[in-house]
Structure formats: structure tokens, C-alpha cells
């Protein structure tokens, strides 16, 4: 049995939760917060969440975990058939994470966790997010899924990260940068909102947010 460790506010945690749900893999969840890192550095060497516990030991980095799950549980595949198409799907995931979410993440401290971010960081993040979202738009299909006619792992990634990018850019720049640079993503997100496992994940995210806030521990993402 796979145990998913982390907390349900994290977009990277929810990426893996969606993967597990969509692939119908039996799993348990264990709530672990980053400030408890001393207790799980064995499984996640930087003390980041999410990570999983398997019968063989721990495994960290959400994309590595995704690939592991895809390999171990092939019954419901979340990558397209064909090596080139699979690589293109992974390419989209990598751009979404490295050049969009990872940039927006620099704003989370101010928009979600009560801290402040310098004007220079805000300017730089705006510039790089514009570039990153525009680049992702050259790969995204939205027909109706992000990588084409079938639901793939890229949808699990895009949904959780787009949610954060919209919230962060609206809070910091008073502008939904997703809508501005990927206008087709607006209807896509509304379409994805209706997907049963996404509804489950988002309802549990709301409950996890309440539990997280109740911890009252300083955290900046």
C-alpha cells in the first residue's frame, strides 16, 4: 500500500493525490508538515513534501513519484501511447513546473503566508511568468484536455498549478495572469472543476487549509 505524506494545501501534494485517484491506486494519506522535517529526512532529503512511503522505503520529488506510479500501476495509463507523444507530454509538465509554477512560488510568501516579497522579486516574477505561461501555451492543446483528446498526467499537474498561479497573480498584480496569457485555460479550468476526483481533492484541500491554519506555525511555502 502506498502512503502519500504531506498536507492537502500543497499543490505538489495534490498533484500526486490526483494521480493516485485517477489511476485508482489504493493509498493512505499521512499528514506531515514541512516543519516536522527532522522526522522524515530519510524519505525526503530536503524536507520537502510530498513524498510517499512504499513497501521498499520512501520516495520524494513529485515528478519522480509520478513516474514510479505510472511504471508500477500501468492499468490506467496517464501518458499517451508512443514514445514521442509521451515525451511531449512530459515536456509540457516540465515547462508548467519549472517556468510557471516555480516562478509564481516566489510570490506565495506574501499572498498566502502573511510575509512580504520585494518589489524587485515581484517585477522579476511577473516578467518570467509571462514568458513561462506563453511558452506553455505553445505546447498546450486544451482540446478539451491540456494535452489533447485524453486526460493525462499533465492535467493533474496543470490543474493544481494553474489554481495557485491564478490566486497568486490576482493577489499580487490584481491580474489573473493565466487568463491573460493562456485565455483557453479559463474554460479548461471550469471544465476540470466538474471532474469527480478534482472535486474530491478540492473539497479535501479546503478541510486541509483549516487544519493547516489551526497549526499557527510560521511558514512561507
Ligand X SMILES: N[C@@H](CCC(=O)N[C@@H](CS)C(=O)NCC(=O)O)C(=O)O
Q: Which is nearer to ligand X, 142 or 164 (CB)?
A: 164
Q: Which of 27, 31, 47, 67 binds ligand X (CB under 6 A)?
A: 47
Residue 9 beta carbon to ligand X: minimum distance, rounded to whole angstroms: 8
Q: Contacting ligand X (CB under 6 A), which of 17, 23, 62, 101?
A: 62
Interaction between residue 12 and ligand X (CB under 6 A): yes
Q: How many residues does the chain have?
A: 221
Contacts 24+ apart (CB under 8 A), 199-207: 200/21, 201/8, 201/14, 201/17, 201/18, 201/21, 204/8, 204/17, 205/8, 205/9, 205/14, 207/8
Looking at the Cβ atoms of 63 and 170, the one nearer to ligand X is 63
Give the range of 8-16, 17-25, 73-81, 169-177 binding ligand X by CB under 6 A: 8-16
Q: How many residues at the interface with ligand X, by CB under 6 A? A: 12
Least distance CB 103 / ligand X (angstroms): 13
Q: Does 80 bind ligand X (CB under 6 A)?
A: no
Is there a contact between 63 and 56 (Cβ–Cβ < 8 Å)?
no
Determine contact, residues 80/152, Cβ cutoff 8 Å: yes
Residues sharing a CB contact under 8 Å with residue 126, sequence separation 6 or more, in sequence order: 173, 177
Q: Please report the sign of the dihedral spanned by the C-alpha atoms of residue 127, residue 147, residue 203, residue 55.
A: negative
Give the Cβ contact number of residue 26 at 10 Å: 8
Q: Which is nearer to ligand X, 8 or 80 (CB)?
A: 8
> What is the nearest approach in angstroms of ligand X to the Cβ of residue 36?
11
User: Which DSSP category does 174 fall into?
Assistant: S
- Kindly state whether residue 61 participates in binding ligand X, applying the rule CB under 6 A: yes
Least Å from the CB of residue 62 to ligand X: 3
State the DSSP H helix or E strand holding residue 2, giving kind and residue range, or none if neither. Answer: strand 2-6
10 binds ligand X (CB under 6 A): yes
Cα separation values, 6 from 42, 168, 200, 205, 212, Å: 14, 21, 17, 12, 11
Residue 48 engages ligand X in binding (rule: CB under 6 A): yes
Least Å distance, CB 70 to ligand X, is: 15
The residues that touch ligand X, with contacts defined as CB under 6 A, are 10-12, 34, 47-50, 61-63, 221
Amino acid at each position: 500500500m502506498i502512503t502519500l505524506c504531506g498536507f492537502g494545501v500543497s499543490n505538489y501534494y495534490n498533484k500526486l493525490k490526483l494521480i493516485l485517484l485517477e489511476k485508482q491506486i489504493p493509498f493512505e494519506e499521512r499528514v506531515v508538515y514541512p516543519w516536522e522535517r527532522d522526522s522524515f529526512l530519510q524519505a525526503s532529503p530536503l524536507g520537502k513534501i510530498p513524498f510517499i512511503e512504499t513497501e521498499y522505503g520512501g520516495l520524494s520529488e513529485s515528478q519522480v513519484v509520478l513516474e514510479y506510479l505510472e511504471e508500477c500501476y500501468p492499468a490506467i495509463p496517464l501518458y499517451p501511447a508512443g514514445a514521442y507523444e509521451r515525451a511531449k507530454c512530459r515536456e509540457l509538465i516540465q515547462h508548467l513546473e519549472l517556468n510557471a509554477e516555480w516562478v509564481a512560488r516566489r510570490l506565495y510568501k506574501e499572498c498566502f503566508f502573511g510575509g512580504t516579497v520585494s518589489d524587485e522579486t515581484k517585477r522579476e516574477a511577473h516578467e518570467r511568468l509571462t514568458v513561462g505561461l506563453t511558452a506553455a501555451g505553445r505546447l498546450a492543446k486544451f482540446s478539451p484536455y491540456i494535452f489533447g483528446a485524453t486526460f493525462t498526467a499533465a492535467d493533474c499537474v496543470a490543474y493544481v498549478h494553474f489554481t495557485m498561479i491564478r490566486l497568486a497573480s490576482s493577489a499580487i498584480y490584481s491580474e489573473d495572469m493565466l487568463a491573460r496569457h493562456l485565455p483557453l485555460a479559463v474554460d479548461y479550468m471550469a471544465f476540470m472543476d466538474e471532474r469527480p476526483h478534482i472535486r474530491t481533492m478540492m473539497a479535501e484541500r479546503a478541510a486541509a487549509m483549516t487544519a493547516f491554519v489551526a497549526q499557527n506555525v510560521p511558514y512561507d511555502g
